[in-house]
Amino acid sequence: MLQEFKDFAMKGNVVDLAIGVIIGGAFGKIVESMVADIIMPIIGAITGGIDFSNLYVSLGAKVAAGTGYADAKKAGAMLGYGQFITFVVNFLIIAWVLFLVVKAMNRMKKAEPAAPAAPAAPPEPSDEVKLLTQIRDALKK
């Protein structure tokens, strides 16, 4: 049983998947930082200094104005739509970058040569040609 597990774990697809998950995790952190530290501050500056990560609506709890989302969440139920906006932007960036990577990979892939076409069978002779062939064969006899 140990040998079967070793054979399974060492298959190329499993190792490739593990590497992809590790690289994907690291890539996710890069994109997360890009969204939080570069894109959202620019959007905040354009919208008048709004910090999207602290946008929320209180769902019944009394919270002092200007309280950060993390502290407000401790006071009770909060609807943190600013976090949602940040995650949507994060997702869109990841999806766009992956689209560009797949597109580049498809361009780099060599076009497979077309399989040579099988020679076409000669067309069936018409009735006149068949009749003339029979007459020729009869004259030869």
Note the pLDDT of residue 113.
Answer: 66
DSSP E strand stretches across 44-133? 57-58, 78-79
Note the pLDDT of residue 4.
Answer: 82
Note the pLDDT of residue 38.
Answer: 83
- Spell out the per-residue pLDDT of the chain, length 141, in tens: 888 877 777 776 777 788 888 888 888 888 778 877 888 788 778 878 777 777 888 787 677 777 777 777 887 778 888 888 878 887 888 788 778 888 888 888 776 666 666 677 778 888 888 888 889 988 888
Note the pLDDT of residue 115.
Answer: 66
Note the pLDDT of residue 114.
Answer: 65
Reduce the DSSP state of residue 79 to 3 states and report it. Answer: strand
Please calculate the CA angle 130-134-139 and round it to the nearest 5 degrees: 150
The secondary structure of residue 48, as a DSSP letter, is T
Closest-CA residue to 72 (of 85, 53, 89, 91): 53
Number of continuous H segments (helices) and E segments (strands) in the chain: 6, 2
Structural domains for the chain: 2-111 (1.10.1200.120)
Whether the Cβ atoms of residue 93 and residue 39 lie closer than 8 Å to each other = yes
